[in-house]
Structure 1
Amino acid sequence: MSAPAHRTSREVGFQHCDPAGIVFYPRYFEMLEEIITAWITELADAGTEAALLRERREAPRITNLECRFARPTLLGDVIDFEIDVVEAGAERVRLAYRVVRDGDERIAGEVGLGWYRFDPHPRATELPPTLHARLRERGNEQ
């Protein structure tokens, strides 16, 4: 199995869990969006999401999300978020993700991303050329 295009780890904190100490499922999505946004912003040479919005008035946004839950994750677990580029079009990106603990899959699915310009209202636009090229380089398509 090849290495994912992007991988990062997080420790599950109290704020991620329900009273039983199990990750409350919407928290996975919050962590996933944070990780994807930071990675895409880095690939776009924008520094931070705040800088991207302030200076360019644009940012990536999740347009659809699919998820399969395999096993629960507990308070204190260190989980790895593995992200692969499935498809990188001029206006849309499709990513596959897995969340694993010690190689054991917890959740997995796909995320659709669009690139939006805020002037003043959000509207879909093409990905910046550098970002598009970098995503294609990391992708599974040839």
Structure 2
Amino acid sequence: MNKPLETPVASRPIPLLLKDLKNGLWSTATKIRFGHCDPAGIVYTPKFFDIFNVVIEKWYEHALGIDYYEIIGARRVGLGYVNAHADFFAPCRMGTTLDVALDVERVGTSSFNLLLHAFSGEKEALRGRFTVVTTSLDNHRPTAIPEDLRAALLIYAKS
């Protein structure tokens, strides 16, 4: 038999307006494509994680000046997600352009937290949170964030 939750449920997050977004965040426009959508013409929920991942990959290069593919390839440092979460505020439809802004919430020793705000027009349509852990791709164990990446993250977080 199912029992009711004994702990209080967290209150629902409230979508931001574009004007309320923290100044200085890097953002990019992303168009919702046919392949992102389900038969109802709205984004199929798992596709948002793919969209967010593409934005994150672009952010490394355009905002941090770090070559994402060089870190993973030549340097053999994994940038995997140990936690991924999304809050959905409004459906996104085929043909819509989302403006996605990225913030750094925390930088630790071998992990950091990213917060993504996706706006449709002036209102936030969804929000994503990702915890990235740096790992050795040779032994698949956590490793310290590379110094150049760590420095870039800390500078970006202060902006």
Q: Which AA in structure 2 matches 1:136?
A: L
Query: Is the aligned partner of 1:53 residue 2:88?
Result: no
Q: Deviation per CA, 1:112-142, whole angstroms, max 9, x where unpaired? A: 11112211x422111111111111112159x
Which TM-score applies when normalising by structure 1? 0.86
Q: TM-score, normalised by structure 2?
A: 0.78
| Aligned equivalents of 1:52, 1:136: Cα separation in 2 | 18
Displacement after TM superposition at 1:90 (Å)? 2.1
- 1:130 corresponds, among 100, 125, 148, to 148
Which has the higher Rg, Structure 1 or Structure 2?
Answer: 2
- SS at 1:61 equivalent: strand
Matched letter for residue 38 of structure 2: D
1 or 2, which has the higher strand percentage?
Answer: 1
The answer to whether residue 81 in structure 2 is matched with residue 24 in structure 1 is: no
Q: How many aligned residue pairs are there?
A: 138
Deviation digits for residues 48-76 of structure 1 (CA, Å, limit 9, x no counterpart): 52x33331112311110121110000000
* Structure 1: 5+ residue stretches without partners: none
* Structure 1 stretch displaced more, 110-119 or 1-10: 1-10
SS of 1:115's equivalent in the other structure is strand
- Alpha carbons of 1:140 and 1:34: their partners in 2 closer, same or farther (altered >3 Å)? same
Query: Where do residues 1-142 of structure 1 align in structure 2 (5 Å cutoff)?
Result: 1=20, 2-40=22-60, 43=64, 45-46=66-67, 48-49=68-69, 51-119=70-138, 121-139=139-157
| Structure 2: gaps of 5 or more residues | 1-19
4+ aligned runs moved over 4 Å, structure 1: none
- Whether the 8 Å contact between 1:44 and 1:130 is mirrored in structure 2 is no
- d(CA) in 2 for partners of 1:76, 1:114: 33
